[in-house]
Amino acid sequence: MKTSKSDRLFREASALLVGGVSSPVRAFKSVGGNPVFIERGRGPWVWDVDGNRYIDFVQSYGAVFLGHANPLLTKAVTAAARRGTVLGAPVPEEIHLARSIRKAFPMLELIRFVNSGTEATMSAVRAARGFTGRSRIVKFAGCYHGHSDGLLAKAGSGAATLSLPDSSGVPASFVAETRVVPYNDVEALRRLFAAEGREIAAVIVEPIAANMGLVRPRDGFLREIRRMTSEHGTVLIFDEVISGFRVRHGGAVEWSGIRPDLVCLGKIMGGGLPVGAYGGGKDIMECVAPLGPVYQAGTLAGNRAAMACGAAAVDWLATRKPYLALEKTTQKFAGALAKLAESHGYEVQVPWVCGMFTLFFSPRPVVSYEDALACDRPAFSRFFHAALANGLYVPPSPFEACFVSPFHTKKILAGALKRWEKAFRDMGEAKA
């Protein structure tokens, strides 16, 4: 594959941007080499600046669900831009999107729009603390809830890729009120509540973990979290920035049947534009300014372009209902991928849920952050470069999920499996 233009642009970017990128996971540091610069996308395809075409399984890390350059979304953004992208005042599009979200998540009596998933989780934690009058927060190892100081503890995703489970620049006092429990470990959570339950303001969790690779919750795990938080008057926060509108129209709330107190949304909800939201019952959300003393604000929050684009995306999903078909497609594809890897002598795990999967180079199931860290990273690095060379665009990290959209047709996925088979064969030749 040609890379001369991407290599040149990376040299130029490295003189201007930190590490040559605007987000750490876009760098190829953990797998070696230089990142490719993407010039354009259409549906499930992307093209880099050197003209290489890829089947896209990154999908902007889950933000693009209706395919790149979707005409419906392009039309919505263009129409909004003609009337002013951001006006510093309420706009009707906020009401439209909020109503569409509530139809999907009826428990969200009040919603606040923000600009990113990080803002949503940070603000939800603040609201939980304000509501309960407590300060302690519980998160799970390997779950990433954005880069706010109090939640950067064993955060998975980019931090794990760079071998930085905690971030420099975060004072110890900022995470002193954060407790970290192994994902899927009910007994550890039970012991923590027994010792500190009266001090815990909130438990925040990715109901389907997707930032240490895809890790499904064990049967009963989410139900037990709900039971313990209810018993101790603790706010349960579902971080659905990735799972919201992906695994079901009502996200992991609908998928699991578990009702949290607050839900954080982003990515798909914005149709590909920067957006986030958090919401829940009136009892908690009325603590947020201007109704209550918990302050949170944002100049670009609720901007017309993101609201219009998000409403078009969410309404399309509500009308088309692609989830059951996509779930079958994902299951079939993940199973075929696992068989391909095994036929070439690789021990792998390919956990999946609707629209998401991860290829773990591991002989045993991955159910926790520790399991993910124990996977064969050199094998993943060889796999990544072989996949890229064969026209498969996958995340440059073993701790990210791959994404499948309703626009990855059977024909495209069949072609992807042929490319994957070639990639596994090239891996073996590279190792030899």
> Which residues are known to be catalytic?
144, 239, 267
For residues 75, 416, 54 and 381, what is the CA-based torsion angle, rounded to 10 degrees?
Answer: 130
Total residues found in the chain within this entry: 432
- In whole angstroms, give the CA distance from residue 358 to residue 56: 14
Beta bridge partners of 139: 180
Beta bridge partners of 137: 178, 202
- In whole angstroms, give the CA distance from residue 286 to residue 256: 27
Residue 1 three-state SS:
coil
Instruction: Give residues with Cβ within 8 angstroms of 423, minimum separation 6.
Output: 383, 386, 387, 389, 390, 392
**Backbone phi and psi for residue 322, each to the nearest 5 degrees, phi listed first:** -85, 0
**Backbone phi and psi for residue 256, each to the nearest 5 degrees, phi listed first:** -95, -25
**Backbone phi and psi for residue 58, each to the nearest 5 degrees, phi listed first:** -85, -45
- In whole angstroms, give the CA distance from residue 20 to residue 122: 27
Cα 367 from chain centre? 18
User: What's the helix, strand, coil split of the chain in %, to 5?
Assistant: 45, 15, 40
- In whole angstroms, give the CA distance from residue 81 to residue 79: 6
Query: Given its phi and psi angles, is residue 350 left (phi above 0), alpha (psi -120 to 50 degrees) or beta?
Result: beta
- In whole angstroms, give the CA distance from residue 30 to residue 108: 39
Of 313, 311, 309, which Cα lies nearest the Cα of 77?
309
- In whole angstroms, give the CA distance from residue 305 to residue 180: 37
Residue 59 three-state SS:
helix
- In whole angstroms, give the CA distance from residue 74 to residue 40: 14
Distances in Å between the alpha carbon of 219 and those of 177, 223, 242, 367, 407?
A: 29, 8, 20, 12, 30
Identity of the residue numbered 381: S
- In whole angstroms, give the CA distance from residue 337 to residue 352: 11
Residue 168 three-state SS:
coil
